[in-house]
Amino acid sequence: MKLSKAIIRLIETAVTAQKGSYCPYSRYRVGAAVLTESGRIFSGGNVENASYGLSICAERVAIFNAVARGHRALKAICVAASAAKPCGACRQVMIEFSAKDTELYLVDLDPSTGRQSVTKTTVFRMLPSAFDPIASGLLPPNPKNLLRAGPARRRTARKPKRAR
C-alpha cells in the first residue's frame, strides 16, 4: 500500500503519541492521531484513572484536541497499539466528525519484534449501523461531512398563529 506524505506523518504522530500515554493500570499503551480536512494533525494518548470509568481512549483525546481547536472535519484517523482496534465509544465519536470515506489506519505494533503492520479501512466500515445524528434530526443533512455545513441550527419554537 502506497501512503502519501500526510498519511506517513499521521502514522508517525500516532506512534509517538503512544509513548506519552498514561496507563499504569492496564499497561496497554495506545496512541492516536487525526488528520483534518485543513491538513492539521492532532494527537492523543490514552489516559487512565484509578476510577476506571474516568479514563479516556487515545482516539477521543486526539479528536477532542482537534475539535477544541476548531477542526471538525476529519480526513483520516490513525490508531497505534498492539492489536490496534478502536472501542465502540471511540467509533461512535469518530462517526460524528467523519465523512463516509474518512480513512482509518490501524497500526499494529509488535513489542517483541518492533515491527508494525498497517491496515487501512474506513470509519464507517468499523461501525455499521452507527447512531446517525442526521437521521435522528439532531444535525442538518449534509452529504459530505456531518459538520461541514456548520453547527446545527437551533430549533426555535414557532409562535402560535392567532385564531381569526
- According to DSSP, the β-strands at 98-109 and 41-45 are unpaired
The whole-angstrom separation of Cα 61 and Cα 74 is: 14
Per annotation, catalytic residue among 48, 59, 96, 103: 59
Q: Residue 134 falls within a domain, yes or no? A: no
pLDDT tens per residue across span 59-84: 999 999 999 999 999 999 999 999 99
Q: Residue 63 falls within a domain, yes or no? A: yes
Q: Residue 105 falls within a domain, yes or no? A: yes
Higher local confidence (pLDDT), 84 or 154 = 84
Least Cα distance to 95 among 134, 56, 43, 149 occurs for 134
Q: Residue 103 falls within a domain, yes or no? A: yes
Is there a contact between 57 and 87 (Cβ–Cβ < 8 Å)? yes
Q: Residue 159 falls within a domain, yes or no? A: no
pLDDT at 163: 55
Q: Residue 119 falls within a domain, yes or no? A: yes
- 79: domain CATH number? 3.40.140.10
Q: Residue 109 falls within a domain, yes or no? A: yes
Q: Clarify whether 48 is annotated catalytic.
A: no
Number of domains in the chain: 1
The whole-angstrom separation of Cα 7 and Cα 104 is: 10
What percent of the chain is modeled with pLDDT above 70? 85
Residue 160 has pLDDT above 70, yes or no: no
Q: Residue 22 falls within a domain, yes or no? A: yes
Domain holding 110, by residue range, is 5-126
